[in-house]
Amino acid sequence: MNAVAKLGLKQRYSLLTRGLDWEPSYQSKSAIYPYAEFEGIKIHDWSKWEDPFRLTMDAYWKFQAEKERKLYAVLDSFAQNNGQMGLTDARYVNAVKLFLTGVSPLEYQAHRGFAHVGRHIPGVGPRVAAQMQSLDELRHVQTQIHTLSHYNKFFDGLHEFPHMHDRVWYLSVPKSFFDDARTAGPFEYFIAIGFAFEYVLTNLLFVPFMSGAAYNGDLATVTFGFSAQSDESRHMTLGIEVIKFLLEQDPDNLPIVQKWVDKWFWRGHRVLGLVAMMMDYMLPKKIMSWREAWEIYFTEAGGSLFQDLSRYGLRVPKYADVATAEADHISHQNWAVFYQYTHAAGFHTWLPSAEEMDWLSEKYPTTFDKYYRPRFEMWGEMAKEGKRFYNNALPQLCTTCQIPMAYTEPGDPTTISFRHSHYKGDTYHFCSDGCKDIFDNEPEKYSQSWLPVHQIFQGNCGGASVEEVLKWYRLNLGADNLDQAGSPDQAQWDAWMEARRRVAG
């Protein structure tokens, strides 16, 4: 009989993370961790760090290996069995294109960001957690590239995704979000990605949208989505732990952390506007509206979270009320932008059908019929007359979020919202008070933004005409861009469906 009792989980985890560090003898701590102090965060006792997910390395490898086996069995099966033919509709693939070109590269950025933080945070507990998260994020981008590789065999717009991510006007929105986080200090990165993005906002990205993928027959996306999300609960917990730890360590940390929470909530809210549009306009079979998802995942879950954190003096992010009010508008305004600029996008657009517009009226009773239906109906009329509306002017971009200035004033959905600031003799433009505040707090950083439209005008993007710029993006004109109707994607889909009908007799 074995008389030695097995160690409990809490003891095992504590043995993994305690005593792993050592006091340096021939280098100073500040030379080893050069980024630990400049942000002004004060930490007195790293041993107070408590990671509630007590995953030891052996358990981590075991569970991750099992997730991978399951995931790749599904991806392989999806590819082998021509899973793309079982989708609800060819339009659906455009949502996947936007996800794989816009979001998947962020997984890689998150991998690099957490690797950096896993090196530069002086506490050993969070370093171990950040290293695990770094590996998780690398796993996520790999699974998504495997999915992309299959879709790329059949559908347009995916062939040059890393090249596009660094250049295309709307992909600069998610790209700049992560560039911004990764160029911040390690504590800000932790709050930006671990807390504001992972805890407060990613549910909105991965939960209802992936459920939508399940509902639209996309086995591959559901599987990588939920496999990624299975790591996400650990990431969310890390995010909330970081914020609690910083706030418990020193009261002087509160104003710094609050500013980061305000900033990253607003940055994240702007990026997620793309997901709002995917859910309301791009899923042929819909799960819930963006508004409903916002209520569950921000108002309800975020409400409980910020109530919990109020004991440290932390308040709900600034402009959370504005973001909540925008949930009635943002998907409609974004889809309208992409419809107007469909010639310059790497995926296809369309106008919502009569049935879809009725769904939108039902889900957005106070806004859709009044502000957005008339616009879509007018564009439908114009298209029928052979005057499909394209916007051929390059849009002004918000310096902070890099989104075209198409959002409206809070409480006044018929007036475009413009804000501006002056810095070192130049004028900078913003879509909202939230974006202007972020610039005003760090003008030296944001005055250096790589804004796609400015770069085109400065002659850095292949030429002055739309065609030249799109070629520089490596978009295949006439295949990757323009309306879904008449696209090679649609023609191929129609041929598949026709073949199915013939076989069915």
Render 349-372 in DSSP notation, one character per residue. Answer: B-PPPHHHHHHHHHH-TTTIIIII
253 in contact with another protein (CB under 8 A): no
Q: DSSP string of 169-190?
A: TTTHHHHHHHHHHHTS-HHHHI
Task: Write the CB contacts of 351 (distance below 8 Å, at least 6 apart in sequence).
Answer: 339, 376, 379, 380, 383
**Calpha distance 188→472 (Å, rounded):** 34
* 313 lies in the site for another protein, by CB under 8 A: no
- Select the residue interacting with another protein from 16, 87, 128, 236 (CB under 8 A): 236
Instruction: Please give the full DSSP string across 401-433, using - where no structure is assigned.
Output: T--BS--EETTEEEEE--EEEEETTEEEEESSH
Site size for another protein (CB under 8 A): 43
Select 311 or 422, whichever has its Cβ closest to another protein. Answer: 311
Q: How far is CA 289 from the centre of its chain?
A: 18
Are the beta carbons of 253 and 42 closer than 8 angstroms? Answer: yes
For the chain, give percent helix, strand, coil, nearest 5. Answer: 65, 5, 30
What whole-number distance in Å separates Cα of residue 8 and Cα of residue 388? 67
Residue 178 amino acid letter:
F
| Start-to-end C-alpha separation, the chain | 70
Tell me: does residue 233 bind another protein (CB under 8 A).
yes
**In the complex with another protein, which residue's Cβ is closer, 173 or 246?**
246
Q: Give Cα 353 to chain centroid, integer Å.
A: 27
Q: Segment near another protein (CB under 8 A), from 21-29, 166-174, 221-229, 346-354?
A: 221-229
55 binds another protein (CB under 8 A): yes
List the x/- string, 292-311, binding to another protein by CB under 8 A.
--------xx-xxx-xx-xx
In whole angstroms, give the CA distance from residue 125 to residue 48: 9
229: contact with another protein by CB under 8 A: yes
Number of Cβ within a 10 Å radius of residue 396? 16
Q: Tell the smallest beta-carbon distance from residue 63 to another protein (Å).
A: 5
* CB closer to another protein, 218 vs 437: 218
Compose the 69-108 pattern: x for residues touching another protein by CB under 8 A, - for all others. Answer: -x--------------------------------------
The pair of three-digit structure tokens given for residue 428, joined into one six-digit string = 């900078």
Number of H helices, E strands in the chain: 23, 4
SS3 397: strand
387 binding another protein? (CB under 8 A): no
Residues 4-43 that bind another protein (CB under 8 A): 8-10
Min CB(212)–another protein separation in Å: 7
Q: Which two tokens stand for residue 26?
A: 């021939």
- The reply on whether position 245 binds another protein by CB under 8 A is no
Q: Give me the least distance between CB of 426 and another protein, in Å please.
A: 43
Is residue 316 near another protein by the rule CB under 8 A? Answer: no
How many Å apart are CA 30 and CA 47, to the nearest integer?
A: 18
Least Å distance between CB 232 and another protein? 7
Between 234 and 429, CB nearer to another protein: 234
Give dist(CA 132, CA 22) in Å, integer.
21
* Residue 10, both tokens: 């809490």
Name which position in 127, 139, 165, 234 contacts another protein (CB under 8 A): 234
Tell me which residues in 147-176 interact with another protein (CB under 8 A). Answer: none
Region binding another protein by CB under 8 A among candidate stretches 55-63, 113-121, 319-327, 469-477: 55-63
Closer to another protein at the Cβ: 222 or 401?
222
Residue 279 binds another protein, judged by CB under 8 A: no
Binding of another protein by 242 (CB under 8 A): no
Q: Using CB under 8 A, which residues numbered 199 to 218 contact another protein? A: 203, 206-208, 210-215
Interface region with another protein, contact rule CB under 8 A, candidates 158-166, 170-178, 236-244, 348-356: 236-244
Q: Does 325 bind another protein (CB under 8 A)?
A: no
CA distance 404 to 151: 29
Helix (H, G, I), strand (E, B) or coil at 483: strand
Does residue 336 interact with another protein by CB under 8 A? no
Residue 362 contacts another protein per CB under 8 A: no
Query: In this chain, which stretch among 97-105, 109-117, 225-233, 455-463 interacts with another protein, using CB under 8 A?
Result: 225-233
Taking CB under 8 A as the criterion, the residue among 237, 391, 476, 492 binding another protein is 237
Q: How far is the CB of 311 from another protein (least distance, A)?
A: 5
Specify the residue for token string 């696209």.
487
Binding region for another protein (CB under 8 A): 8-10, 52-55, 59, 63, 66-67, 70, 203, 206-208, 210-215, 222, 226, 229-230, 232-234, 236-237, 240, 287-288, 300-301, 303-305, 307-308, 310-311
